[in-house]
A and B are shown apart, each in its own frame.
Chain A
Amino acid sequence: MGEVEVHALRQVNLRLDEGKFVVLLGPSGSGKSTLLNIIGGLDVPTSGDVIYRDTSLTHADEAALTSYRREHVGFVFQFYNLIPSLTAVENVALVTEISESPMDPSEALKLVNLGERQDHFPAQLSGGEQQRVAIARAIAKRPAVLLCDEPTGALDISTGVIVLEALERVNAELGTTTVVITHNAAIASMADRVIRLADGRVVSVEDRTDKVPPRDLSW
């Protein structure tokens, strides 16, 4: 896997390396969502370049962006966005059905410790469980990049920790480049690299070597 290099926002120059766990930190309005949209192929920048591996996404059209998302990106949303009419395993299968070489949906759920709950509908799961289904759904297609937008934003601390553990495990075991966007500074401690945004600019990039496991985070 090559490099994910992004020029974004105002004079933002950013590079996401393979297999790293990256936390994008910033307050509301700092531009982190815009950045995520561009990295995720939901939007293209008005100027500058976006390069994924050796391919430019700068001028990609609708269809190209769709296939980029479909083949290479996994999304985890703040409000899970599960399909209420599908069970946990079916929500995962939704993605594996349209992927080239996916995991088995049950395997993906086991990876987030939800093997037992796979036949439950979203309404029958807690918020944390729903978010872990969302993670399983995102990683089941073995994406190159996993993008998580405030994945613990709607959760309390203890369930948030379980979700972060699931993300950590995916990053460690599958080597998926993981980008977590958050305004919660505590999460930064578990990252390989922390990128701080403010007013649409990168204010600092910090490479960490002393990663803290999620259960030891405090917020």
Chain B
Amino acid sequence: MRITPLNRKLFRDLLAMKGQAIAIAMVVASGVAVYVMYMATFTSLQRTQQAYYQRQRFADVFASAKRAPLRVVNELAAIPDVSVVEPRVVSTVTLDLPAFEEPASARLVSIPVNRRPLVNDLYLRRGRWIEAGRPDEVIASEGFVLANNLNPGDRVPAVINGRLRHLTIVGVALSPEYVYTIRPGEMVPDDKRYGIFWMDEQALAAAFDMEGGFNDVAIGLAPGVAPDAVIDRVDRILEPYGGLGAIPRALQLSNWTVQNELNQMQTFGVLLPVIFMTVAAFILNVALTRALALQRPQIAALKALGYTNRAIGWHYLKWAFVIGLVGVVIGTAGGASLGSAIIDMYNSFFRFPTLLFGVPLHVVVESLALTFAAAGAGAFTAVRRAVAVPPAEAMRPEAPPRYRRSFLETPLIARQLGTAGRMVIRNIARHPLRAAASVFGIGFAVAILMIGFVFNGAIDRLIVTQFWEAERQDVTISYVEPHSSTAQYALARLPGVMAVEPQRSVAARIRSGYHDRYLAISGVSPTQRFRRIVDREGRAIRMPPAGVVLSLTLANVLEIKPGDMVTLEVLEGHRPVRTLEVTGIVDDIMGLSAYMDISALHEMMHEGNVANGALLLIDSAHEAELASTLKATPAVAGAAFKRAVLQSFRDVMASNMSLSILINLIFAGIIAFGVVYNAARVSLSERSRELASLRVLGFTRAEISLILMGELALLTLVALPVGGVFGWGLAASMVHTIDSEVYRFPIFVTRQAVAMSFLGIIVAACVSGLIVRRKLDQLDLVAVLKIRE
């Protein structure tokens, strides 16, 4: 292939401005990398999820009840659009793992012995299916097995309905129902202390007095059917049997979590690349405008030689596209490696048979399109302006720049400024759009860096609010069944227990108009000291004696305000239904929660001083002793030690946050460097003659550097607070997408977050400034005496 002279010129011109071209290409590459990272991860995760759900027949509707007879299965199967019904016995038991002081727990889920489940089929990774006549055989979830270094053949002691039994792991499996496994009520998964055991349905039914019945059901629907009508029917059928409300697949915890992650990736995957590309377009515009000003005589010559405006315009647009193309290549490679790091991280949270990372072709094509759009937009005005000049005019040098005193120069300020200061101010005032573009670009670098730190601060705040201000107990105990206050005295006598506070909560459906949610209503006593209702600032809220207090998220879901009425349908005991006034709304960090005064709750339930859990304050010296006692206490369904919960929370967050902060740091650094470097090079190019003249007049290198760098320093300085505002806005919009019915993220912009992000950007700006400063040393002093610009 013959390379045309114009293309040869293209490559040589680009080579001559390689520093700037690389800086711009790197900003483009960052945008592409973010896009590829999120979109490729999104596609990989979504495809894996869909294939997995389909192959393992993930159920569409989930429901549980206290105890329903097996004949109800026929009623459920008769609901129109229901294709399969799989009744199950499900229960949570305490495990006595020798490695841990505090008790671990497992969710036992029944499976048939002689066939595969009709829905939620297991993916058997290792070992074999359970065999008939061996009631202690279980298949264990992979996460739990890996975290605890277990193998098929190992035995795990479990307290099942008050009796210690040794369960034998015969297989290791995954389930579409437990892609994400988390102990109910906790914020992060802990594979070491919580697992799923699938067990012979007859053995499980026998252990929990469920023979001839079930307490959980998974339902498959005909393809493409909306679950709402079925859910209503299921609720009605199960109501007499203590039905706890059916939920669609969308609200099933594991699926909801994966789906939420997918949604976030999609949002970030569009938002962030657009920001990066906008910055890239801006700096490309600035760089090209200057480069084309220098090309003015060449453009005139090309025109004189008979090249059309279109040909010349295309020639210069290609500059932008070549730079963009380099960015796409680097960005795709970078995005692929970051994406595979994210998939690695997902593989530690989400259990799929295989979750492999790949970059689909459409993602590359889309990023190419995005890049060309940005490059074209950035180059367009610059190229049009340069090409539009008539050849005769282009032959002459450009008219000298017109300067004015800037409006900032009141006599008082002018005196303070000094001559160098005035030069800086007037140069900025002469190119206000360019200055704005630089401020915008650097500002976004600040914002991107800030997000990481803001989220870190938010997590610290979350920990303080949740673990210290709202929950001040050391151990949270849940009972298998509600107990009278005698249980609390029994707990008080256990080793190391210093104080006990009983807890009462009931499962309920809360309804207002068309909106409803299933949740636990917590009883709050006025004398309660350990668990308090606190808002997102950590302020305790006083519980009114009557009515119900809702979290803001719940109030928003139900579309109600204080003073409105809501209907409670309690799903336990004699299943009372009450209409209550909303006497308070708390703007807290958690998702859906509702509180009632403890006496009012007891009264509603027609019960005495009953509790279904307890909060303990303990002497940490006796923690081990207490933990092993609790493990052997049949009435205790679970015990969460704050120290351990907090530890796993911190571990999970630390590993996630450090990865994302690192990624943000790299990208913010590239943007800040790219913007400042580009601005510095353009400035240097325009003013090299001026600066060289000053050198001849006896100014030192340091003095002329100050003039050049002063402008950049000023722009950076202005960009910092602007970036702070951008960062806050960006964090707010991201938090908005993360906010869910499970928890809310407080935006907490700490002084440290601001300082760290400002510092990061200042360092990046200084580095690029110093690189450009070295160019100042190469100024040709003699040439300026002779050459007219």
Contact A83 B693 (CB under 8 A): yes
Q: Which of A62-111 contact B (CB under 8 A)?
A: 63, 66-67, 69-71, 73, 75, 77-79, 81, 83-87, 90, 93-95, 97-98
Instruction: Please judge, given known A-B contacts A84-B403, A121-B402, whether A70 and B696 are in contact too, CB under 8 Å.
Output: no
Closest to B698 in A: A70
CA distance A146 to B690 in the complex (A): 20
Closest to B400 in A: A123
Instruction: Please judge, given known A-B contacts A33-B786, A94-B694, whether A122 and B422 are in contact too, CB under 8 Å.
Output: no
Contacts of B419 in A (CB 8 A): 86, 90, 93-94, 97
Contact A69 B696 (CB under 8 A): yes
Question: What's the least CB distance linking B426 to chain A, in Å?
Answer: 4
Interface status of B56 (Cβ within 8 A of chain A): no
Contacts of A98 in B (CB 8 A): 698-699, 703
- Cβ-defined partner of B697 (8 Å) among A90, A93, A95, A154: A95
Closest to A95 in B: B697
Interface status of A56 (Cβ within 8 A of chain B): no
Interface status of A174 (Cβ within 8 A of chain B): no
Interface status of B784 (Cβ within 8 A of chain A): yes
Question: What's the least CB distance linking B493 to chain A, in Å?
Answer: 85
Interface status of A149 (Cβ within 8 A of chain B): yes
Question: What's the least CB distance linking B783 to chain A, in Å?
Answer: 10
Contacts of A94 in B (CB 8 A): 419, 694, 697
Contact with A along B667-698 (1 / 0, CB 8 A): 00000000000000000000001100111111
Contacts of A42 in B (CB 8 A): 696, 781-782
Contact with A along B244-260 (1 / 0, CB 8 A): 00000000000000000
Interface status of B785 (Cβ within 8 A of chain A): yes
Contacts of A37 in B (CB 8 A): 782
CA distance A66 to B777 in the complex (A): 13
Interface status of A43 (Cβ within 8 A of chain B): yes
Interface size on B, residues (CB 8 A): 32
Interface status of B427 (Cβ within 8 A of chain A): yes
Interface status of B401 (Cβ within 8 A of chain A): yes
SS class, residues of chain B in contact with chain A: helix
Q: Which of B765-789 contact A (CB under 8 A)?
A: 781-782, 784-788
Contact A86 B785 (CB under 8 A): no
Contact B401 A66 (CB under 8 A): no
Contact A123 B703 (CB under 8 A): no
Closest to B418 in A: A97
Contact A83 B423 (CB under 8 A): yes
Contact B782 A84 (CB under 8 A): no
Contact A85 B403 (CB under 8 A): yes
Contact B697 A69 (CB under 8 A): yes
Instruction: Please judge, given known A-B contacts A83-B423, A85-B430, whether A121 and B403 are in contact too, CB under 8 Å.
Output: yes
Counting contact residues on chain A (CB < 8 A from B), the size range is 20 to 34
Contacts of B785 in A (CB 8 A): 33, 75, 77-78, 81, 149
Interface status of B700 (Cβ within 8 A of chain A): yes
Question: What's the least CB distance linking B112 to chain A, in Å?
Answer: 85
Instruction: Please judge, given known A-B contacts A94-B419, A98-B699, whether A81 and B784 are in contact too, CB under 8 Å.
Output: yes
- Cβ-defined partner of A81 (8 Å) among B423, B693, B700: B693
Contacts of A123 in B (CB 8 A): 400-403
Contacts of B788 in A (CB 8 A): 79, 154
Contacts of B695 in A (CB 8 A): 66
Contact with A along B688-729 (1 / 0, CB 8 A): 011001111111110100000000000000000000000000
Contact with A along B521-541 (1 / 0, CB 8 A): 000000000000000000000
Q: Which of B400, B430, B701 has the most CB of A within 10 A?
A: B400
Contact A86 B422 (CB under 8 A): yes
Contact A69 B418 (CB under 8 A): no
CA distance A83 to B786 in the complex (A): 16
- Cβ-defined partner of B698 (8 Å) among A66, A86, A93, A122: A66
Contacts of B689 in A (CB 8 A): 81
Question: What's the least CB distance linking B779 to chain A, in Å?
Answer: 11
- Cβ-defined partner of B782 (8 Å) among A43, A69, A73, A122: A43
Contacts of A75 in B (CB 8 A): 696-697, 785
Contacts of B787 in A (CB 8 A): 79
CA distance A14 to B737 in the complex (A): 80
Q: Which of B381-413 contact A (CB under 8 A)?
A: 400-405
Q: Which of B427, B784, B788 has the most CB of A within 10 A?
A: B788
Contact B696 A83 (CB under 8 A): no
Question: What's the least CB distance linking B684 to chain A, in Å?
Answer: 15
Contact B782 A90 (CB under 8 A): no
Contacts of B427 in A (CB 8 A): 85
Contacts of A63 in B (CB 8 A): 700
Contacts of A85 in B (CB 8 A): 401, 403, 422-423, 426-427, 430
Contacts of B400 in A (CB 8 A): 84, 122-123
CA distance A94 to B421 in the complex (A): 11
Contacts of A154 in B (CB 8 A): 788
Contact B422 A90 (CB under 8 A): yes
CA distance A134 to B237 in the complex (A): 98
Contact A71 B698 (CB under 8 A): yes
Question: What's the least CB distance linking B707 to chain A, in Å?
Answer: 9
Closest to A83 in B: B690
A interface residues, Cβ below 8 angstroms from B: 33, 37, 40, 42-43, 63, 66-67, 69-71, 73, 75, 77-79, 81, 83-87, 90, 93-95, 97-98, 121-123, 137, 149, 154
The 3 A-B residue pairs with the shortest CB-CB distance, nearest first, are A70-B698, A81-B693, A69-B698
Name 5 A/B residue pairs within 8 A (Cβ), A-sorted. Answer: A70-B697, A77-B696, A85-B422, A94-B694, A123-B402
Q: 14 additional contacts, CB 8 Å, given A77-B784, A81-B785, A83-B690?
A: A66-B701, A69-B696, A73-B698, A81-B689, A84-B400, A90-B419, A90-B422, A93-B419, A94-B694, A95-B697, A98-B699, A121-B403, A149-B785, A154-B788
